[in-house]
Structure 1
Amino acid sequence: MQPAGTRLSNPVPNNLRELWWLAGALALIFLLARYTPLDHALTGLFYDPATRGFPLRDAAFWAVIMHTGLKYLSVAAWFALLAYWITLRGHRSRQPLRRAIGFTLLVALLASLSVSSLRALSAHSCPWELSLFGGTADYFRFFDAVPLNPGSGRCAPSGHAASGFVWLTAWIALRGVDRTKARFALVFALALGFLTGLTQLARGAHFLSHVLLTAWVCFAAAWVCDWAYRMWGKKRNN
Structure 2
Amino acid sequence: MSQQPTSATLIPAAERSRLSFAGRALLIPLMIAAAGSLLLMAGNGDQWLADQLFRWQGSQWALKDAWWTSHLIHKGGRNLTWFVALLVILALIRSCMDQRWRPLRRPLAYLLSSVALTSSIVALLKSWTHMDCPWDLERYGGLRPFIGLFEQRPVALGHAACFPAGHAGSGYAWVALFFFMLQVRPQWRWPALGTALLVGMVFGLAQQLRGAHFASHDLWALTISWLVATVLYLWLFPASASITSPARAAHGAIGENA
Please list the CA deviations of residues 158-192 of structure 1 after superposition, one character each: whole Å capped at 9, or x if unmatched: 01111201101121232244223323321221111
Q: Give identity over the alignment, percent.
A: 26
- SS of residue in 2 equivalent to 1:45: helix
Corresponding position of 1:3:
none
Corresponding position of 2:38 = 31
Q: Following superposition of structure 1 onto structure 2, how do residues 3-82 of structure 1 map, counting pairs within 5 Å? A: 14-48=21-55, 53-82=60-89
CA contact (8 A) 1:97 1:174 kept: no
Q: CA deviation at 1:89?
A: 4.3
Which one of the candidate residues 164, 168, 171 is aligned to 1:161?
168
Q: 2: CA distance between counterparts of 1:157 and 1:137?
A: 19
Question: Which stretch shows the higher mean deviation, 45-54 or 182-191?
Answer: 45-54
Larger radius of gyration: 2
User: TM-score w.r.t. structure 2 length?
Assistant: 0.76
| 2:232 equivalent to 1:225 | yes
Q: Partner letter of residue 222 of structure 2?
A: A
1:49–1:184 Cα change, 3 Å = closer
2:105 maps to what in 1? Answer: 98
Following TM superposition, the consecutive aligned residue runs of length 4 or more in structure 1 with deviations greater than 6 angstroms are none
Matched residues in 1 for 2:19 and 2:67: separation? 43
Q: Distance in 2 between matches of 1:98 and 1:13?
A: 27
Partner of 1:6: none
Q: Is the 8 A contact 1:140 1:147 kept in 2?
A: no
Change (3 A) 1:14 1:144: same
1:174 is matched with which residue? 181
From the two aligned structures, give the one with the greater helix fraction: 2
Change (3 A) 1:50 1:28: closer
Cα RMSD after superposing both structures:
2.9
What is the Cα deviation at residue 11 of structure 1?
Answer: 7.5
Distance in 2 (CA, whole Å) between partners of 1:181 and 1:100 is 14
Using the alignment, how far apart are the partners of 2:132 and 2:209 within structure 1?
A: 16
Mapped pair 1:122 → 2:107: no
* Conservation of the 8 A alpha-carbon contact between 1:107 and 1:222: yes
Alpha-carbon contact 1:127-1:133 (below 8 Å) kept:
yes
* CA deviation after TM superposition for structure 1 residue 224, in Å: 1.8
What is the rounded CA distance, in whole Å, between the counterparts of 1:73 and 1:146 in structure 2? 35
Relative to structure 1, is the Cα distance of residues 212 and 50 closer, same or farther in structure 2, using a 3 angstrom cutoff?
Answer: closer
Cα deviation for residue 36 of structure 1 reads: 2.9
Q: Which moved more, 1:91-100 or 1:179-188?
A: 91-100
Alpha carbons of 1:150 and 1:18: their partners in 2 closer, same or farther (altered >3 Å)?
farther
| Higher RCO (CA-CA < 8 Å; seq separation 6+) | 1
Instruction: Determine whether 1:187 maps to 2:194.
Output: yes
Q: 1:198–1:12: structure 2 CA closer, same or farther, 3 Å change rule?
A: farther
Report the TM-score when normalising by structure 1: 0.82
Q: How many residues align?
A: 225
Match in the other structure for 1:142: 149
Structure 2, unaligned runs of 5 or more: 1-16, 242-258
Given residue 187 of structure 1, which amino acid in structure 2 is its aligned partner?
G
Q: Give the residue type in structure 2 aligned to 1:161.
A: A
Q: 1:135 aligns to what SS in structure 2? A: coil
- C-alpha separation in 1, matches of 2:81 and 2:114: 14
Find the aligned partners of 1:169 and 1:227 in 2 and give their Cα distance. Answer: 12
Asked whether the equivalents of residues 107 and 183 of structure 2 are also in contact (C-alpha less than 8 Å), the reply is no
Q: Which moved more, 1:83-92 or 1:176-185?
A: 83-92
Q: Indicate if the aligned counterparts of 1:137 and 1:151 stay in contact, CA closer than 8 A.
A: no
